[in-house]
Structure 1
Amino acid sequence: MRASRSHQAEKQSMTASQPERKEAALDGVRVIDFTHFIAGPYCTMILGDLGADVVKIESPVSGGDSMRAFRPQVAGESGPFIWANRNKRSVAIDLATPAGHKIALDLLSTADILVENFSTGIMERFGLAYETVSKLNERLIYCSISAYGREGPLKDRTGFDPIVQAESGFMAVNGFEDREPIRTGPAIMDISTGMMASNGILGALAARSRTGKGQRVEVALFDVATTMVGFHGMNVLLTNVEPRRIGNNSFDTAPMGVFYASDGPFYLAVANDRLFERLCRDVLGRPDLNASAAFATNADRNAHRDDLFAALNAIFGQATREHWLAKMRQAGVPAGAVRTLVDAFASPEMAARERVKKIPHATVGEVPNIGSPLHLRGTPVIPAQGAPTLGQHTEAVLKEFGYSDAELAELSSQGAFGRLATKDND
Structure 2
Amino acid sequence: MTSLDLVIRARRVVTPAGEQPLAVGVAGGRIAVVAPYGTELDAAEQIVLRNDEVLMPGVVDTHVHVNDPGRTEWEGFTSATKAAAAGGVTTIVDMPLNSIPPTCDVAALELKRKTAERQAYVDVGFWGGAIPGNLADLRPLHDAGVFGFKCFLLHSGVDEFPALEQAELEAAMRAIGAFDGLLIVHAEDAHRIDSAPAASGPQYDGFLRSRPREAENAAVAVVIELARRTGCRVHILHVSSAEALPLIARARRGGVRITAETCPHYLTFCAEEIPAGATAYKCCPPIREAANRELLWDGLREGLIDLVVSDHSPSTIDLKHLDTGDFGAAWGGIASLQIALPAVWTQARRRGFGLAEVARWMCQAPAEQAGLTHKGRIEPGHDADFCVFAPDDAFVVDANTLQHKNAVTPYAGWPLAGIVRRTWLRGVPVDIDAGPTGRLLTRGDHR
Question: TM-score normalised to the size of structure 1?
Answer: 0.29
Question: TM-score normalised to the size of structure 2?
Answer: 0.28
Q: Which of 1 and 2 has greater Rg? A: 1
Answer 1 or 2: which has greater helix percent.
1
